[in-house]
Every structure is written in C-alpha cells, then in structure tokens.
Amino acid sequence: MLALVESQIFSSDAHHPHRMAAPQVSNSRIDDTLKKTITELQHATSTKPISLPLVSLVPSMPSIRARAQGQAHLERKLRRKISLDTAPGDLLLEIAGFLDSKVDLFNFCLTNNYIFGNIASILYANVVLTTSEQCTTTLQMLSRRPDISRHVRELVIRPGSKKSLNHQLLDSIVASSAIRECAISFKLDALSRFSWDCDELPYFDDMWFALRVCCPRLKFIGTSLGAAPPALNSHLFDFNDLRGFTLMLKPGFYENHPEMFFEEYRPVSRRLWEMLMERCPNLEELGIDGMSSFPTEVHHILDGRWPKLRKFTLGDVVVDRAQNPFGPPSQTSFIEFLEAHPLIEDLSLSRANGHHAQLSTVDPSTLKLRAFSGTLEQLQALSHTHQYIESVTFRESMQTREVTSLVVAGLLQRLTALTKLKISFTLHSMYDSCNLLKSLISSCPNLRHLELICGHRPSFQIDPFSKTIRGFSKLRVLHLSIVRYPGDEDLASGAAKIAMTNPRLEKFTLTFLPMKCPISFPFYISFLPFSLRTKASGSFTLTCDDHGLPVSLRAFERRRFVWPMGLGCSYRTKRYISDLRPAGSPGRSRKGLKGLASLLSENSAAGEELRMIVFCGFLLCLALWGFLVNSRGIGRA
C-alpha cells in the first residue's frame, strides 16, 4: 500500500512537468506531508481503510508561485525602507553610544535633521567650553535653539586657564557675561551641574544670580577661588538646597591669603558655612580641593553634618586642630566626622589631612568605601574597608627607592574587589619597571581599568611593557603616560604593538610627556630661544574579529608644540585607521601597482621571494642588453 501511495504521488508529478520547476519550498512541504502520511500508515491497521488527501498533499503550483513572488516583493520593499532616515530613535541612541569622541558623534548628527533631533540629547548632555570664543558662540547658539539647550545637563567653563593675567581677565569678562545672558533666556531649564574652572572667580558676580533664578534644576555647583576673594554680598552664597558643592583653591589663593581664611569669625567665610550647613542639609557631594606645599586651614568643616553625604574630597587643607599638650587629645575630630557620615562611598584625601594613625581608629562598622584617593599609608590604615574598595587613586608619585614593589603588591592584594587603579611611579632604574608590573599583575587579577604614569626617566619602554601586561587577563581600558626615549616607537607604531600583543583591550590612550629640564631658569621655559616641551597623546579603539584577533585600530592623535621665545603653543591633530591583520589576508590584499609595491616592501617570505624575482629579472635584462650590444658590435666589424 505504501508503494501505491508513492506511485500515485510521483505519477501525478510526471503528468504535470511544470510542477517539477516549482520552488524548493513546495518540495519541502510535500516531503513533510508525505512523511507524516507514511507514519500514519505504519501505525494503522491493515483492515481499516484510510482515505488519502492527495489533493492536499500537492498544493497548486500557481498559488505557490504567486505567494513566493509576493513575499519577494515585500522583502524588496522592506529592504528599500530600512535606512537611518526611518530608524527608530532607540536604535540611533544605541549607535551613538558606540562613538567614542565628540567629533564622531557630531559628524553622525550632521547626517540629517532626523538623526540630529534624536542624538542631540547625547551630544549636548555635557558641554565643556575652554575658550572665551567658544563661550560666546556656543551659549548664543543655545539661547537661539531651545530644542538643543533643553538637553544640556552639565556645563563646564574653563576660559583661558593657561594665558596671562590680562588675557584671563578679558576671558572671564566675556565668559561670565555670555553665561548670564544665556541663563536669563530661560533656555537652560535642564541644567543640573555647573562648574567654573578658572584661576579666579567670574568677573560678573550676578552670573550666579542668573543661574540660581533661571535654572530651577541646578543642584551641583563648582567654582574656583584665586587671589581675589568673593565679595561679602556675593550671589554665590545665596543658593539653597544644593546636592553638591566643590571649591577649587588655585595657586593665587595660597599665595595671597592667610592660613585662617576659612575660619568662622571671618564674614565671607561665615556666609559660606551658613549656606552649606544651614540651607543645604541634603548635600551628597562636598569638596575643598587644591594643591600647595603650604596648606590652608579649614577646621569649621568638621562641625557640619550632612546625613546624605556620599562623596567627600579634601585637597591640601588642614581640618584637624592642633593638639593641646595640657589637655585631652583633640585629634579625633576628623574621625568623628567620618563616623557621623556612614554613607560616604568616595573619599579623597591628601597628606595634609587624615593621618594614617588616626584613620586606623575609625569604627569598622561605619565606612564602606567603594572609591579611595590618597596616599599609600592612608589606604593601609583603612584596612576594614579593603574588601569593598573597587577604585584606588594614589595622588602622590611613589619612589621605588622608598617603596618597594612588594609593599604595593601586598597592599593591593588585599583589595579583592579592585577593578580600577591609577598609580604614578618614579623609577630608580629600568629593572624596576618589569618587577613592578609583574607585582601588579599578581596582586590585581580582576583589574579592568589601569592608568600608569611615569613622568621621569627612567621610564617604561613600549616593547617590554606591552608584553608584560598580557598578564592582566581582564584589562579592558589602559591609560599610559611615559617619557619617550630617543629612538623609541612613535605613537602609531607603539599603539599598534600594544594592540597586537593585547587584543583584549577595548580602548587605550598613549601619552608621551615632555622631558623636564634638568636645570632651573629664572624665567618661564617658554621664553627659551629653543623649544624643549613637546607633548603627544593618542586615543585608540581596537576592533577584533569573532575569534578575538585584532583587525583594525582607530586612532586620534594630538600633538602640542611650544614655540621658542614665548610665541605660544600650536596643536596638530590627526585621525587614521591602522590595519592590524597579517600580510596576505584576503581583506588586506591590494590590487594593481599599489598591491605589488606593498608586497615588494613587505617584511615577509612572500616579499623576499618577490624581491628575489625582481632582482633576477633585473640581472636577466642586463644580460640581454649586453648580448644585444655585443652582437651589434660584431655585426659592424
């Protein structure tokens, strides 16, 4: 009976030859239906008759062909519609998240208005302005374009931080005026963070008034303090219910103000402490930062209590009062402050505050830090928080003469959750570099983000460094700043060597610091008749294939050159993509004369063979030319 069914099916196909040219999808459907019918026949009894739906087994070929043609037409129509012009906004935001630099993101936004409208929220979320010209043009544009300014959440102003005093004053006038005009236009309604990072306070103090009144979501304020103190009636101290406040003390402040500037009895300081302690009880971030060999005193900050404080930063400032030799010890005031704020997760200290002997007395049940910045001794004293710390930054450069690599490795080994490390070294000899890296590898197996700085000679060399850091099996981000030796690799070749040796890296930066002058001059080094300071840095993004092998390296280089005789600085930028695939790869092979020339200069076996063939051909041509010359001479004779 099975044979009868099969013969009927195949004979029906034989009588209709056009069915043999049906699409493959119909044959698969027939096979599936046939297998199902045969299975039913095998389980059926021989006495029970079975009706076979032969018509349903072989559907009509015209209907199948029409269905296939309609599906193909629909696919072509959908393929024409799939483009960035009609892509959903979520997909565009996902694509923009993979762009590293602001320039690439901006170029992507310039594709069309539709993409710009969807990506502007990422492009303008954080705006950093470094010159007065940028402040004027950008802030005027934001005043005219509310569709763009409504996306600005953080604004950082750094006008003329490396210029002369007269230029800084002019930049401060222009920048503060532009910010004031932009704020009073009520276009920065989404602004939540503002930072003024200059050597002095803004020239127009009413800029703070405009920000406070016209930016209702502004809760994080940061400003610098230089030689000129703020006025007693400054609008800077009129903010209420801030979530974050940062004061950056510049060199001019340390040089022109006494040590007791922040004491409560001073009128200006009293207004600052009233704002922070009485009108801002919900502070989450608080910092007084600065660098100086002669720290100032900020004792009154320890009297404040902020239950929601999570980030606390202290630069070169003294917070503990001097100990009275005739009374009870008063050295625990800073410890009491830390114990009164158990929610602190990010703590940044300097050598001027937080002595390691005091930090060791902190109640183990209070602090559970996740990020710490300070000295090696301070981190050793906070032993009860080692199991929680994920990020460590050492603010001071470690001398390998004074601190051995075993001491650093022994401390970092106790930080079991450490994933991010920033450390600076001053090497005593070249032999210390490899031992230091091996110690870090053995003590930080889970490290994913590493920043190494070596600003003096001897320094790390690219070739041994790239081979040694292969021990960081989970490292994904690397920042390396070194002093380049004469004859070492440049940025492109050094980055390619790091990428080829460490394909697990996702992105990294390489910076060549300028060599410091071994002697001191009574004037700025930029006034020398020759240039000594040249800085080169590059940001690199590595792309690998499905097997984890490096394919390409996208680079952005930036070079700074200091001209002699005080003529200023010049910058050069360059973008390129390096192909890291081995020679002879299908995607890398070139055609025509360019491919032949690249193969001829290639350092490989194929290149050597081609050079040998070219050389033999050259010898053959010389032999033929000599033979022709001799034959002509014989013929004339």
* CA distances (Å), origin 488, targets 338, 426, 493, 518: 48, 20, 9, 21
Do 112 and 73 belong together in one domain? no
Do 73 and 108 belong together in one domain? no
What was the pLDDT predicted at 30? 44
What was the pLDDT predicted at 459? 83
Question: 19: pLDDT confidence band, cut at 50, 70 and 90?
Answer: very low
Chosen domain end from 81, 103, 137: 81
The pLDDT of residue 264 is above 80: no
Do 62 and 13 belong together in one domain? yes
What was the pLDDT predicted at 337? 93
Mean per-residue pLDDT for 469-493? 88
Least confident range from 289-298, 446-455, 625-634: namely: 625-634
Nearest to 345 by CA among 376, 377, 313, 323: 313
Alpha-carbon dihedral of residues 603, 604, 610, 616, nearest 10 degrees? Answer: 80
The pLDDT of residue 274 is above 90: yes
Nearest to 500 by CA among 574, 579, 577, 446: 579
Do 26 and 66 belong together in one domain? yes
For residue 99, what are the domain limits? 88-123
In tens, the pLDDT along 365-387 reads 888 999 999 999 999 999 999 99
What ranges in 360-430 are assigned the alpha helix state H? 376-381, 405-413
The pLDDT of residue 450 is above 70: yes
What was the pLDDT predicted at 14? 41
Mean pLDDT for the chain overall:
81
In tens, the pLDDT along 40-82 reads 545 544 444 444 343 344 445 556 566 666 666 666 655 555 5
What was the pLDDT predicted at 325? 42
What was the pLDDT predicted at 448? 95
- Report the domain count for the chain: 2
Do 17 and 58 belong together in one domain? yes
Can you tell me the distance from the alpha carbon of 596 to that of 464, in angstroms, rounded to the nearest whole number? 34
- The answer as to whether 104 is a domain residue is yes
Do 20 and 67 belong together in one domain? yes
Express as a percent the part of the chain with pLDDT over 70: 77
What was the pLDDT predicted at 498? 94
Can you tell me the distance from the alpha carbon of 420 to that of 56, in angstroms, rounded to the nearest whole number? 67
DSSP string, 134-202: HHHHHHHHHHH-HHHHTT--EEEE-TTTTS-HHHHHHHHHHHHHHHHHHHHTT--TT--EEEE-SSS--
Chosen domain end from 81, 98, 114: 81
- The answer as to whether 583 is a domain residue is no
Do 6 and 74 belong together in one domain? yes
- The answer as to whether 63 is a domain residue is yes
- The answer as to whether 7 is a domain residue is yes
The pLDDT of residue 31 is above 60: no
- The answer as to whether 164 is a domain residue is no
Q: For the chain, how many residues are written?
A: 637
The pLDDT of residue 519 is above 50: no
What was the pLDDT predicted at 107? 86
Do 56 and 111 belong together in one domain? no
Chosen domain end from 50, 81, 112: 81
Mean per-residue pLDDT for 309-328? 76
The pLDDT of residue 515 is above 80: no
Q: What is the DSSP letter of 378?
A: H
Do 45 and 102 belong together in one domain? no
HSE-CB for 238 with a 13 A CA cutoff: 15
- The answer as to whether 65 is a domain residue is yes
Can you tell me the distance from the alpha carbon of 135 to that of 180, in angstroms, rounded to the nearest whole number? 11
Query: Phi and psi dihedrals of 194, rounded to 5?
Result: -140, 135
- The answer as to whether 526 is a domain residue is no
What ranges in 341-490 are assigned the alpha helix state H? 356-359, 376-381, 405-413, 431-443, 462-468
What burial letters (b/e) apply to 564-592, b meaning 16+ CB within 10 Å? Answer: eeeeeeeeeeeeeeeebeeeeeeeeeeee
Do 105 and 53 belong together in one domain? no
Nearest to 455 by CA among 482, 478, 434: 482
Can you tell me the distance from the alpha carbon of 503 to that of 342, in angstroms, rounded to the nearest whole number? 41
What was the pLDDT predicted at 332? 67
Cα–Cα–Cα angle for 37, 9, 69, rounded to 5 degrees: 95
- The answer as to whether 368 is a domain residue is no
Residue with tokens 């071994």: 518
In tens, the pLDDT along 84-106 reads 777 888 888 888 888 877 878 88
